[in-house]
Amino acid sequence: MSPLSSSLSSRFFDATMLQPLASNRLLSAIFRSSNESFRRYFDFIANEFEPLLAKKRIAAEILGIIDETSDVRTFVLRPSVNWTAHLPGQYVSVEVDIKGVRHHRHYSLSCSPSEFKEHGIISITVKRVSGGRVSNYLHDHFTVGQLLHISPPAGDFVMDLLASDGAASRDESVPVMDVECAVGSSLFIAAGSGITPIMSMIESLAAASALAKPLTLIYVVRSSADVIFAERLTEIAALQSNFSFVIHETSLRGRLTKEQLAQHCTDMETRQIYVCGPYAFMEFISQSAEQMGAEPSHIKRELFGLPRTGAVEVAKDGSETVEQSATSGQVSFSASGQVVQSSGSKSLLELAEDAGLNPKYGCRAGICHECKCQKTSGRVMNMMTGKIIPDEQDQIQACISAPIGDLTVSTW
Amino acid sequence: MDMKTSPKHLLMVDELDAFGAELDEIRAEVLADLGERDVQHIRHMMHTQTLSEMAGRGLIHFSLGPVSWAAGVGLLSVSKILENMEIGHNIMHGQYDWTNDPELQSQNYDWDNVCTADSWRKTHNYEHHTYTNILGKDRDYGYAVLRLTDDTPWRPWHLVQFIQYGMLSGLFEWGVGLHELEFDKLKSGEVPLKEKIPFLKEFAKKASTQLTKDYVVFPMLAGPFAPKVFVGNAAANLSRNLWASTIIFCGHFTEDAQTFREDECENETRGQWYYRQLLGSSNFSGGKWLHIMSGHLSYQIEHHLFPDLPSHRYPEISTKVQAICERYDIPYNTGPFGKQFKTVLKRVAKFSLPAIVRRGAA
Ligand code: FES
């Protein structure tokens, strides 16, 4: 044996072979391997017999479907064992498999968390979006008894609770059931299906025997036929003297104006304000409210009814081609914070390298998938075929993808 | 592109372009048609695999005699083969990335094998699939231990390369797992060991997870019967190794599978790349389950043309590829499994002798 190979073997043994034999390494290896096997077996058996017991994903059985309006449905769900109660205003990501492709959409929970605590149920309320793949699929293909998969509740569009000194803060430790005692006077402003997270907030407050502070809802809809939760809102208003709501129909009265807003709420400066609707609507409301004396920090908003970035149009059929013009934009790499300009002709892999990053790659020709990265917003084109990659496909091959307009990638 | 081991017919550059465009067309058709059927296939495979794994481990565990024990070993072997060949290998190629399902993502999946997923994707998906059968660049060609062409200089130990072939097959997962180490280059000093430390750490972690699973955790569960579980698991791993190695050897080392020089393949066009994949790979025929158990590597040609299309599509694709090959007069290397394997053995035997000796004997 040559001197080189003997030193090689001694270093080899030093460096790696002896360490895993140390007892803590052995224990952790045992843990890793048994954990992996048994979790897989458990989920397999659960999925065979009772999917609501499976651990990996949250399944939810559809217990009921309520038609709210001609194009809005509420799905009443019984979530599986690993669900934890939500905070009013939060949403879940709903998974739907359409033609073999998994799609995710966020839908706000539209019920009070107490529904889950008392009856084990939750609800989401879904409006059909014209051309929207997921919302239409949910309406057309799901019936009572079927299973949906959902994420844990998420989102920070939740109510600010008053601490004992009166300052608003969001305190996770306040039990959800006591929410109504800790909330100041509030103003809710919703447009269209933006009512859903707000409904969850109103429901959780209305659970109190008597509301201590005034609560006002301004609800902007196209026409009276589009009012979601109409009966329930009337019911709450009858029970709670401190709760009032106005419905503003744009088909009769045009867009909500600043003056009308001022009429509906005269003490803007004392309110915690929650706005949910399209971006332009929320901009308008925030500006007007601020001009009427509202504290900017007391205004909370949740974007609704728009795709993920303003520049991208609503998803179309994935097979269209793009003209070379209008493909330039800004590419942001969110892990490193780097930003580069793209003219639309360079691949994402080249752009990442231009930005001084060190992305992983192999063949640079679309064969090996080593350059896979996660796209969080924006669109890309497959440079080999000239076709746009469907929006829902967020794992993309950087070496053959060219950005179309602005793009955000979270991998590098 | 001129080929050393020349095919029946040399294609002109414009013919190669047209040939490439036709294959691109097949690819586009399949991509446009991907859907539920593909997810059902892979899910069905995963379901069958987990069932046979649980049944196999259960039988080994509770076996009352050698027959039920052997049945358990059989089922566990089937499950390991299915997992490595039809499920893991194909998912890791990105064949199901388009589903957006995190369990079916190439970059997330880890398989039941001592080779780490990262190392496999690098040495196999990238190196082997990009540089298929290019001597000096495709390190899978003979795995640096076998001499399968006269372009590899002959050494006396090649005389007994059947022994090495047997060892490589029996320990296949370890060979594959340590492939990235490039032991030959370490020995020659071309690559310093220091560069390989991160790889070795990852490898040690994966290997220890695998070893404890089959040789500590499951045997321990059987208490006093631990030895029969230990031996049963070892037998299942061995049969998976032998099977995988046999299938893979049938894919590139049959008698007529061609090799290429690095300079021949510089600045390849897409058409030339397809052409090389075709000439360097070989198929074998058989029933549905033979194809499934081989991870559809029985359609090695189609797999090399379209490594990221779902494998169960290869049979339909194959009809079209054969028609194209016929039109362009390109050899399409296929035959029954047994016959193809015989030519592998013949090739191992043939090149264990240097060219001069063979010519002399003839
Ligand atoms: S680097 Fe191989 S597919 Fe992108």
DSSP output for A334-356: TTTTEEEEE-SSS-HHHHHHHTT
B350 in a domain, yes or no?
Answer: yes
Q: How confident is the model at residue A161 (pLDDT cuts 50, 70, 90)?
A: low
For the four alpha carbons of B206, B207, B210 and B216, in that order, the dihedral sign comes to negative
Residues A297 and A177 in one domain: yes
CATH at A361: 3.10.20.30
Query: What is the extent of the structural domain holding A390?
Result: 312-409
Residue B134 has a pLDDT of 93
Is B181 in CB contact (< 8 Å) with chain A? no
The pLDDT of residue B30 is 96
Contact between chains at A100 and B127 (C-beta distance less than 8 A): no
- The number of folded domains in chain B is 1
- Whether residues A173 and A133 share a domain: the answer is no
Is A397's C-beta closer than 6 angstroms to any atom of ligand 1? yes
Amino acid symbol at A140 = D
Q: What is the CA radius of gyration of chain B?
A: 21
Instruction: Choose from B114, B183, B212 for mutation: most chain A CBs within 10 A.
Output: B212
Whether residue A289 is found in the same domain as residue A167: yes
C-alpha of residue A400 to centroid of ligand 1, in Å: 8
Question: Are the C-beta atoms of residues A402 and A322 closer than 8 Å to each other?
Answer: no
Determine the pLDDT at residue A324. 42
Task: Give pLDDT, residue B220.
Answer: 93
What residue numbers bound the domain in which B119 lies?
A: 13-35+113-222+238-357
B157, amino acid identity = W
Measured from the CA of A349, which atom of ligand 1 is nearest? 4
Residues 234-273 of B with CB under 8 A from A: none
Residue A370, ligand 1, Cβ within 6 A: yes
| pLDDT, average across residues B62-79 | 96
Residue A78 lies in a domain: yes
pLDDT digits (tens, 9 = 90+) for A286-341: 999 999 999 898 999 887 654 333 333 333 333 333 444 457 889 999 999 999 99
8 Å CB contact of B209 and A36? yes
Atom of ligand 1 nearest to the CA of B125: 2
Place of tokens 């036929």: A225
Domain finish residue from A258, A276, A303? A303
Q: What is the pLDDT, as a whole number, of residue B13?
A: 76
Q: Does B209 contact A32 at a Cβ distance shorter than 8 Å?
A: yes
pLDDT digits (tens, 9 = 90+) for B168-179: 999 999 999 999
How confident is the prediction for chain A on average, in pLDDT? 82
Q: Across-strand partners of A218?
A: A189, A246
In a domain, A186, yes or no: yes
Task: Assess whether pLDDT exceeds 50 at residue A234.
Answer: yes
Cross-chain residue pair A15–B200, CB shorter than 8 Å: yes
Best of B105, B126, B273 to substitute, by most chain A Cβ atoms within 10 angstroms, is B126
C-alpha to C-alpha distance for A24 and A35, rounded to whole angstroms: 16
Q: What region, left, alpha or beta, does residue A405 occupy, with left being phi > 0 and alpha being psi -120 to 50 degrees?
A: left
Return the structure tokens found at B216.
Answer: 């500590």
Q: What is the mean pLDDT of chain B?
A: 93
A168 and A127 both lie in a single domain? no
- Given a cut of 50, is residue B3 above it in pLDDT? no
| pLDDT tops 70 at residue A218 | yes
User: If you measure from the C-alpha of residue A349 to the centroid of ligand 1, how many angstroms do you get, rounded to a whole number?
Assistant: 9
What number is the average pLDDT over the span B117-125?
Answer: 94
A191 and A223 belong to one structural domain: yes
Domain closes at, from A91, A120, A150? A150
| Residue A357 belongs to a domain | yes
Answer yes or no: do A287 and A329 share one domain: no
Judging contacts by C-beta atoms under 8 Å, the chain B residues touching residue A372 are 94, 97, 106-107
Distance CA B117, CA B128 (A): 15
Q: Which CATH number fits the domain that encloses residue A39?
A: 2.40.30.10
Inter-chain touch A100–B35, beta carbons under 8 Å: yes
pTM: 0.83
- The mean pLDDT of A383-394, rounded to a whole number, is 84
Q: pLDDT band for position B358 (50/70/90)?
A: confident
Contact (CB, 8 A) for A372 and A347: no
Residue A197 and residue A123 share a domain = no
State which of A303, A337, A354 marks the end of a domain: A303
B150 phi and psi angles, rounded to 5 deg: -70, -10
Instruction: Tell me, yes or no, whether A372 lies in a domain.
Output: yes
CA-nearest residue to A371 within chain B is B107
Same domain, A12 and A146: yes
Question: Number of folded domains in chain A?
Answer: 3
Residues 6 or more apart whose Cβ sits within 8 Å of residue A25: A19, B208
Least confident segment among A62-71, B3-12, B280-289, B309-318? B3-12
Q: Residue B176: in which H helix or E strand, if any?
A: helix B172-177
DSSP state letters, B148-159: -STTSPP-GGGG
Picking from B98, B128, B220, B313 by the largest number of A CB atoms within 10 A of its own CB, the best residue to mutate is B98
- Confidence class for position B225, pLDDT limits 50, 70, 90: very high
Task: Examine the domain organization and report whether A265 and A337 are in the same domain.
Answer: no
The reported pLDDT for the residue numbered B5 is 45
User: Do A299 and A316 have their domain in common?
Assistant: no
Residue B252 located in a structural domain: yes
Cβ count near B191 (within 10 Å): 15
Task: Tell me the pLDDT tens digit for each residue of B240-273.
Answer: 999 999 999 999 999 989 999 998 888 888 999 9
- Establish whether residue A361 lines the binding site of ligand 1, counting it when its CB lies within 6 angstroms of any ligand atom: yes
The DSSP 8-state label assigned to residue A205 in this structure reads H
Is B185 inside any structural domain?
Answer: yes
- CATH code at position A198: 3.40.50.80
Q: Let me know if residue A172 belongs to a domain.
A: yes
